[in-house]
Structure 1
Amino acid sequence: MPRTTVDTRAEIRAAALELFSERGVDATSLREIAERIGITKAALYYHYASKDALLGDLVDPMFVELRELGDELEGRSIDAGDEAQVRAVIERFWELCLRNRAVMRVLIHNPRVVARIELAPRMLHWRERIDGVLVGSDDAADRVRAVVALGGVQDAVVVFGDADLPRIREAAVDAAVRALRM
């Protein structure tokens, strides 16, 4: 049967994300990804030279969003004492995490892969930028509160399912704002 889609790279990414979520990155072969969408392994290699290159393509949009958020926040003045401004930043971070939830789940469940392709330093770099903007300080206690706040939001997005997502969002954002106020 002829293929009806034209964006083979998008199909590969979708199938990879699904299989990586089901089986793990190391337990999923490129052949299985190719078979999932009905192409040859050679055709998959035309688009991605390795599984790590494919995984990198899956996580890049998240890093682009993190960079853009960090750049935007650094470009304007955030008053760490203004709860409305802080809440708006936390809500933006929630939405970013939610859009990238599937990728984050894959990364959390595959720590060896994260280490192998050196994702942790990139993630920490962008999170530290956002943390710093949120608290406006290099004080260790302030930075810890920011790490707890954003880390809690990120974890809430990843850990909880879609059931009652608006309530989970509200609870996570409220908890993050409280953590930053302490």
Structure 2
Amino acid sequence: MSSDTKARIQAVARELFVRQGVRNTSLRQISDRLGITKPALYYHFASRDELVRSIVQPMVEDIERFVAQQAPGDARRLLDDYFELMWRHREVIVMMVRELSTLGYLDLGARMFDWRRQLIILLLGPELTQEQHIRATVALGGMSDCTVEYAHLPLDVVKPLAVAAAADALGLARTAT
């Protein structure tokens, strides 16, 4: 029962954070929306910061696992899988884009740059020209941006176009689909 309440709190908080921003969402708004008292909310999360971290942490863990499990190889498959990962966490990405201070939670700014560097090496290898590095940054950043900008569209509409554009930015040859 307790984990169900915790999950409901996180779901309502995520929705409000995405719509209003983290700073503009009070714990009172969250508890009122759930029909629980503020002390009941504090039983599960000691602070708004703890609640935000609990929402962001699954994305962090998924990205870290994804990056750690990748091996150099099929760049298109990596782009495809990376897009799906970002799509699953698009609400958290929206929270971060809407309110950049969210990047301070779990030191996300530095971690995101590190993940991107690791993914670029997996995509193109460790010896990159400046042009390749810039193209890879555009490819990965553009795909992440598409998960936010086009979150209202179906995955099967956005993903093929975003992955193809990323592959084009990287200079990967098109393959028949």
Settle same-fold status: TM greater than 0.5.
yes
Q: Could you tell me which residue of structure 1 aligns to residue 42 of structure 2? A: 45
Q: How does 1:73-88 map to 2 (within 5 A)?
A: 73=70, 76-78=71-73, 85-88=74-77
State yes or no: 1:118 paired with 2:107: yes
* Conservation of the 8 A alpha-carbon contact between 1:132 and 1:143: no
Quick one: distance in 2 between partners of 1:43 and 1:138?
54
Instruction: Determine if contact 2:90/2:151 at 8 Å carries over to the other structure.
Output: no
**Separation (CA, whole Å) in 2 of partners of 1:50 and 1:102:** 20
1:101 aligned to 2:90? yes
Partner of residue 132, structure 2: 142
Over the matched positions of the two proteins, sequence identity in percent amounts to: 36
Secondary structure in structure 2 of the residue aligned to 1:7 = helix
How many Å apart are 1:33 and its aligned residue?
0.8
Instruction: Mark the runs of 5 or more structure 2 residues left unpaired by the alignment.
Output: 173-177
Q: Secondary structure at 1:28's aligned position in 2?
A: coil
1:175 aligned residue: 165
2:23 corresponds to: 26
Match of 2:68 among 57, 66, 71: 71
State the distance in 1 between where 2:67 and 2:104 align. Answer: 23
How far apart are the structure 2 equivalents of 1:95 and 1:165? 8
**Cα separation, 1, equivalents of 2:150 and 2:49:** 27
Aligned length: 171
Residues 103, 18 of structure 1: alpha-carbon distance in 2 compared, 3 angstrom cutoff: same
Q: CA RMSD in A?
A: 1.9
The DSSP-based 3-state class of the residue aligned with 1:39 is coil
- So what's the TM-score if we normalise by structure 1? 0.85
**What secondary structure sits across from 1:77 in the alignment?**
coil
Q: CA separation in 2, counterparts of 1:106 and 1:88?
A: 27
With over 3 angstroms needed to count, the CA separation of the structure-2 counterparts of 1:60 and 1:6, relative to structure 1, is closer
Q: Which of 153, 156, 172 does residue 163 from structure 1 map onto?
A: 153
Q: Deviations over 1:112-155 (max 9, x none)?
A: 33246632112222222112211112423322221111111111
- 1:19 maps to amino acid: L
- The 3-state SS of whatever aligns with 2:152 is coil
Where structure 1 has 5 or more consecutive residues not aligned to the other structure, the ranges are 79-84
Moved over 4 A (4+): none
One-letter amino acid of the counterpart of residue 25, structure 2: T
